[in-house]
Chains A and B, each alone.
Chain A
């Protein structure tokens, strides 16, 4: 397990302030630097440092779910002895973009994406035939929290 990374207060302030509302202007890092009382080069160096240490994944856009097709959460109850093998089979599918092992009878949880709902059902049928296990399909009915990042 990789070590927990310590961050400075200034780094924390940067990450907390800009999980959303990253400036949409020609020189966004200069605008951020101004707001935090730094200069642009120092701020860029700080972001690169955070990225090199594995703390910052990226600075980028987050797209609303289901805006470019269909997606669903699905789960499998895998016999524990087969978990690793089945997890690999599921992760290998291009349509799977999150796959978590969780402690429960339903112990493998994944998010599937496809062009449309029929594509999701096709992928689930493929998983059923490859693994011999029947996935439950748990698509989104409603979302009660807009993911805007959370305070570190």
Chain B
């Protein structure tokens, strides 16, 4: 458990549960959430600001459906890079504007030798593979091996959820 979740009380959790699925598209959405939960609107906004400041809420914003907008290719690029360089390489890759997620994960030898994951989106596979080539060039000899795992089906996607 992280520190900020220790600071999360029951009311905070209820606010997260009520807002992660979407704020209502009405003029005073926080007021509507407050009414639904039987809370004061200023309290709801103050708690959300505190959770934002503490990093528990990463962002509040519009979540577009990239697939509907034509971003049809989603390539999970996976990389075998030297462990001692991973932090530096990870930051460099994570800073690229076309990388939406970049993670260090453990290898699972002998079945899985990759330790860096970078999610790359594009309108088609050529666009994704061009972007992955740009990453490979940046890494130079630190790229010992890489692959792109294209998704051909999204079977379930509900977002990371708190449950009530």
Contacts and interface: CB of A to CB of B under 8 A. Distances in A.
B105 A143 contact: no
Contacts, number: 249
Looking at chain B's contact residues, is the secondary structure mostly helix, strand, loop, or mixed? Answer: mixed
A101 B153 contact: yes
Contacts of A82: none
Given A100-B153, A144-B91, A64 B58 contact: yes
Size range of the chain B interface in the assembly: 35 or more
Given A56-B65, A97-B161, A102 B100 contact: no
Size range of the chain A interface in the assembly: 35 or more
Given A44-B25, A51-B25, A62 B161 contact: no
A2 B29 CA distance: 31
B100 A7 contact: no
Contacts of B86: 142
B138 to A, nearest CB: 13
Interface string A56-82: 111111111111110101010100000
A59 B65 CA distance: 11
Contacts of B121: 150
A128 interface: no
7 contacts: A7-B69, A60-B22, A63-B56, A68-B162, A102-B149, A144-B91, A147-B101
Nearest 9 pairs between A and B by C-beta? Answer: A144-B94, A58-B22, A145-B94, A144-B90, A4-B70, A99-B156, A142-B104, A20-B59, A145-B102
Given A19-B64, A20-B61, A143-B103, 6 more contacts: A29-B29, A59-B29, A64-B55, A65-B160, A91-B156, A110-B156
